[in-house]
Every structure is written in C-alpha cells, then in structure tokens.
Amino acid sequence: MSNMLEVADLGHTYGDHEAIGGLSFTVRAGELVCVVGPSGCGKSTLLRTISGLVSPTRGDVSLHGSHLAVVFQDYSRSLFPWLSVQGNVEFPLRSLPRAERRARAAEALEWVGLSGAARKRPWQLSGGMQQRVAIARALAYRPALLLMDEPFASVDAQTRFELEDLLLRVRREHDTTVLVVTHDIDESVYLGDRILVLSGSPARLVADLEVPLPAERNQVTTRTDEGFVALRSKVARLLNVGKPSMDVEKWAAAERESLSETVPS
Amino acid sequence: MTKFLQRWTVFAGLVVVWQVLGWLAEDPFFPPPSEILSAAWEWWVVEPENFTEHVVPSIVRLLSGWAIASVIGVSLGLLLGRSDRAMEYAGPLLVFLRSIPPPALVPVFLLLFKAGTSMQLATIVFGVVWPVLLNSVDGARSVDVTKVDTSAVFRIPRWQWVLGVVLPAASPKIFAGLRVSLSLSLVLMVISELVGTDNGIGSQLMQAQREFDYTRMWAGIVLLGVLGYGLNTALLAVERRALAWQPRSRDEQHA
Ligand SMILES: Nc1ncnc2c1ncn2[C@@H]1O[C@H](COP(=O)(O)OP(=O)(O)OP(=O)(O)O)[C@@H](O)[C@H]1O
Ligand SMILES: [Mg+2]
C-alpha cells in the first residue's frame, strides 16, 4: 500500500516551550490511524502542523495528494451560522460549477444521513447532527487525508457511539484516509487500524501499534473482544509512562482485576 | 394590535395635550399641531415645487452621503480589522480624525468645495463614516479562530474569505454602525444646509425662523422627525432580513 502521509522528525516549539519533540511516522492510503496522548501533550499542534495551519519549527510533512480536510472538535464554531446546512457543505466547493457543487453536497449529506436537514441552519440541529454536517463538509471536499481533532469529545456517549460507527462506515465505503486525534483510549482502539501513542510534553512517539481486530466493528461485541481489551490495557499502560510508580502499580492491579472479569474463563 | 396601541397611546396623548395647550395659550412660538399640519399641507402639497426643490434634494444628499460613507467605512474597516499591522499604523490617526466635531469642518469644506452639494456631501460623509468604520473594524476582528482555521484549511479564494466569512461575521456590528450613522446623517444634512445655500430643508428652516413664520419652522422640524423615524424603520426592516440567520435567543422569540 502506498503512503498517503509521511512525517519526518517533526518538531514544534512555541517560544521556549517544546510542544512536539521529533515525531516520525507514516499513514498509508486507506488507513485510519488514531493518535492518543495525555492532555496538553501537543496532539492539536501535531494536526495543525500537518494541516499547514502552523509551520513546524523543524522536520517535514509530505502529503501524497492535493488537499486535506479537518474536522474540529468545536463544531458550533466551525460551521457558519449564516449558511444553511447545504451551504456549509458547499463552502469548500465554491470553485466548482454550481450543478456539481449541489450534487456533491447532496451526496455527502446523504452519506451522513442528513438529506432532510439540507435547508436548515446548523444551529437548529443537535450537537451530533452538527458534527455530522462538519463531517459531510469534509467528505464533500474529497480530501486525500481527513484530519480530525477530538471530533466526538463534545457530544454525549450515545451520540458518540453513533458518530464513531458513522465514521467507520463512510470511510470504508469511500476509502478515505483518516488521522484521528483523541484522548479516549477506548475510542482509539475501536476506530483505529493503527494507534500512535504519544508521551507527555514534548510529544514523542512511544508506540506505533497495529490493531488486531477485524475491519467490521460493533459497539457491543468489539468492546468486549479479547483483542480489544488487551490492546486497550496496553495503550493505557503506555500512557502511564512517567506517572509516579505508586499509581502505575495500583492501576495495574485494577487492570488485572478488570481483565479477569471480562475475559471468559 | 395591543402592542400597536401600547406603542402609540403615549405619543397620541402628548399630541392631544399639546393641541389643547396650544389652543389655550395662543402663543405664536408654540402653535398647536393642527396649525402645523395645515402649514405643512400648504407648504409642500399645495405648492409641490417646494417639496421637489427642497425636501427631495435634502433626502438625496442625506442618502448619498450616508451610502458613500457606508461603502468607505465597511471596506476600509474590514481591511483594517483583518490586519493588525495596518491598524497599528492607522489607529492613532483614526482616533484623532474621529475626535474632530464634523460641524467644525463646515468652514473648511466651504473653502475647499465652495457652497453647494459637494460641500454638503463632504460634511455628511466625513461626519458619519466613523461609526461604520469603527464597527466594521470591531466586527472583522470578531471572526472566531475556528472559522479562520476552517477557511484556511479549505484554501478558499480571497473573495470568498472576505465576502463569505468576514463580511457576514461582521454584519451584526456593521448594522449597529449603519444605524448610528443614519441618524447622524440627518443631523449633518441639516447643519450643512444652514450656511451658504438657499436650498434644502435646513435652509428653509432658517428662512422660516428669520421671517418669524414659526408655524412653518415647526412644520420643518416635524418633517425632520418623520424623516428620521421613517429612515430608521426602513433600515431596521432591512437589518432584520439581512441578519435573519442569527440564532435567536429565547426571550426574543417570545417578544
Ligand atoms: N498558540 C500557542 N502558543 C503557545 N503555546 C501553545 C499554543 N498552542 C498550544 N500551546 C502549548 O503547547 C502544548 C500542546 O498544546 P496542544 O493544544 O497541541 O495539546 P493537546 O494535546 O491538543 O491538548 P488537549 O488534549 O488538551 O487538546 C500545551 O502545553 C499548550 O499550552
Ligand atoms: Mg487539543
């Protein structure tokens, strides 16, 4: 499989605060890669350097495709209240002829199940629906790479599950390459083909893990799958690097207990 | 209907009180509304050339001055608002210019443009450009970071950034500025017509006063009030349509 994104020795420093300390990884075409790391470690900064919003102080980002799209956590601010849902989805397509623009927007709205809401204003929709509009807008742009920064962190648990499944479905149907930043370990395992685990600031790559789960995921069965539980524990352990040893031991004991509960004997 | 009554009873009541007091006092300085109305009728309806030669040109000057100031104010304001560099250079100059009371510039414009329409337009434009300009700067600055980032990521063309993002984001502030400017235009229109011209509502007011024709003077004042009210109502209607996209707060929905 060809590489869609190559990041080589990427580093970024704000003033004298080193946010990212030399990251190298690749994302292959069609892959869904999750980035997890402790809060404030530099995950958003990483996405901003990849998307070109910030130019990194060192290292290289090379994208093998013409353009990328970003879905931000703050959907209510990312959508334009003066445009209808349809207008928002058409927003990045202004250079296309009108008919094609319309068609692409309608198609993308159908993918996320919002065809009926095309004429509404984004603020008339629920949070989950608004984030679906943002996803539709990104998909309508047909990006070589879709970046998502904690896309489901501001919705309730139920909606979150629905949106996770929606993301898995559309990216499978349309063969999109996705890089998702999240601070939720379960989410990273559930969504990802691969997981990049980052350390606390400055962000460094701790592990690059393949997810040994079938492509087809299910909110109930996948989350209790042995492979899922084992990988989640592994990521959790990796993220605890640098915490006081007391905590690690307590946490490990709890983890062993929960493991014996969930794994059928 | 009740709201309509509520809104106008105080007004109607005051007119009635004035009418009664005017009859009782028989003071030539304060004629009752009925006399003012009949004077207005004679002045502008019986002799329509008074209307077309004085009132219409005044309104045209007011509206064109306001329109020119609005175009300058909005375009310059959006430009300055999106560039910290430009604002650093222009900021002090703007504050200085804005602090000059526009009527003080009437003599200067008289010298520059001679008496007449261009001098009057200059006075109006200079006086009313500031509320629009400063509000546009404010509005342009208020585009939130996520929208800036979203636009940058999608690499939208420059015109779409200005017309499709900055302008709508700034439009609530811009309309607030436009409203202030419109009322100010009326004031400056009258002031600019007080000297060096015998044409326009302002000059007719002065003339009526000089001729001790107080009923006509009052008629002119009432006309200015009606004009101001009408223009403001029209602008509010436009604003309500243009800003219909704004999420309404709960209280407003009930109002
Ligand atoms: N514009 C900025 N200027 C200075 N420092 C910044 C800036 N943006 C982020 N930082 C700092 O860089 C570090 C990484 O920030 P970043 O937002 O990338 O973290 P994050 O992993 O996305 O955090 P979170 O999980 O809370 O979203 C933080 O310590 C933050 O304070
Ligand atoms: Mg972040």
Task: Tell whether the model's pLDDT for residue A34 goes beyond 90.
Answer: yes
Higher pLDDT: B251 or B235? It is B235
pLDDT at A250: 61
CA distance B65 to B174: 17
CA-nearest residue of chain A to B152?
A53
- Across the interface, of A81, A83, A141, the residue whose CB is closest to B154 is A141
Distance in angstroms (rounded) separating the CA atoms of residues A87 and A119: 8
Rounded to two decimals, what is the model's pTM?
A: 0.85
Backbone angles phi, psi at A28, to 5 degrees: -85, 155
Query: Mind listing the domains of chain B with CATH numbers?
Result: 54-242 (1.10.3720.10)
Task: Using a CB–CB cutoff of 8 Å, tell me whether A65 touches chain B.
Answer: no
**Burial status of residue A144 (CB atoms within 10 A of its CB: 0-12, 13-18, 19 or more):** middle
Query: Hey, is the C-beta of A81 within 8 angstroms of any chain B C-beta?
Result: yes
CB A117 within 8 A of CB A70: no
Domain ranges of chain A: 28-54+144-243+252-260, 75-143
B250 touches chain A (CB under 8 A): no
A80, A130, A139, best to mutate vs chain B, most B CBs in 10 Å: A80
Segment A105-139, tens digit of pLDDT: 999 999 888 999 999 999 999 988 999 999 999 99
Q: Please check whether residue A46 is in contact with residue A35, taking contact to mean a CB–CB distance below 8 angstroms.
A: yes
Report chain A's mean pLDDT, rounded to a whole number.
Answer: 87
Q: Is B114 on the interface with A (CB under 8 A)?
A: no
Query: Atom of ligand 1 at shortest distance to CA of A48?
Result: 18
* Mean pLDDT for the stretch of residues B34-56: 82
Contact present, B142 and B78 (Cβ < 8 Å): no
| Closest residue in A to B171 (Cα–Cα) | A82
- Judge contact between A109 and A85, C-beta under 8 A: yes
Q: What is the ipTM of this complex?
A: 0.84
Topology adopted by domain A28-54+144-243+252-260: Rossmann fold (3.40.50)
Q: Tell me whether the omega of the peptide bond preceding residue A202 falls within 30 degrees of 0, making it cis.
A: yes
Contact residues, chain A, for B147 at CB < 8 Å: 77-78, 80
